[in-house]
Structure 1
Amino acid sequence: MLIPAEDGPAIVACNTCRHSKESQTDADGQRGGAQLVAALRAVQQGDARYAGIAVQEMPCLFSCAEFCSVHVRAPGKVGYVLGRFTPDEDAATAILDYAVHHAASEHGRVPFKQWPQGVKGHFICRTPPPGFVAE
C-alpha cells in the first residue's frame, strides 16, 4: 500500500481532492487535486528554483473538507498541510515558493514575512518529523 518516494524536500499533493467546496469536479469532470498536481509540475518544470523540491502525489490526504490539499515536508523538519487552493498556476507557484523557503529553513519554520501571499490563510495543520515533536 505504500510506494517508496524520494526522502528529500517535497510537496505531496492529494490527486483526488475536490475541485472546490461546492463540487468534486470541474465542468470537464476533472478533480481539483489532479489539476493542482498538473499545475505544480508545470510551474516546477518552468523554473530552475524549484528543482530541489519533489512534486509527489497520492490519493486522499484525508482533509476533504479543505479541498486541493498538499503536505509540504522535508527530512528532520516540521511539515505542514495546506488546503483550500484553487487548482491553478498561481496557487502552484505560491506552494512551490513556500516549499523552497521550508527546505532552506533549519527546522521547517519559515518566518511569516517570507510566506508567499498565496499560502496565507491556507494552513490546516503542522506535522512533526518522525522521532520528534515541536516545542
Structure 2
Amino acid sequence: MPVFSKGDKVEVCSKEEGFLGSYYEATVLSSLNNNTRYKVRYKNLVEEEDQTRPLVEVVWADEVRPMPPPVIVNRADGVFSYLERVDAFDNDGWWAGSITGKQGLKYWVYFETTGDELAYDASRLRNHIEWRDYHWVSFKKRF
C-alpha cells in the first residue's frame, strides 16, 4: 500500500451505494493510525451544511490512490473507440464506463454500476486506467 503525505494530490474511491467505483480528487491533510487512514479535503465535494466549504473526511487507505498520470488524463485528439474504457467526469467525480457510440461531438458512455448511458463531450472524458499492485494499468476494452 503506498504511503501518502500531507499535501499529496490523490483520488478517493467512493464505497457508498449509488457512488460505487467513482473517484473524487482530494488533497491529503494528514495520515492517521500508521497510514491505515487518511484525512482528506476534496477538490469538488462540499460540506452539506455549508456548501462554501470543501468536504473534509477520514477515509481508509485502500480507498486512496495517486492521481493518474497527466499525460493520459484527457485524450489530446478527443477520439475514442467503440467499447473503449473511459472515465467520465460527472457529479463532481470520475466514473468508469465504456464508449457505446458517438453523436456529433458527443460520446455515449454506458456505466455498468448504474445501468445508465449518457452523452459527454470529449473534454469530460479520459482514458480509463486502474491502480493495481502499485502501478497504473490500462484496460482498453471491457468486453
Question: What TM-score, normalized to structure 1?
Answer: 0.30
The structure with the largest helix share of the pair is: 1
TM-score in terms of structure 2 length? 0.29
Q: Quick check: which has more Rg, 1 or 2?
A: 2
More strand by percentage: 2
For CA contacts below 8 A with separation 6 or more, give which structure has more relative contact order: 1
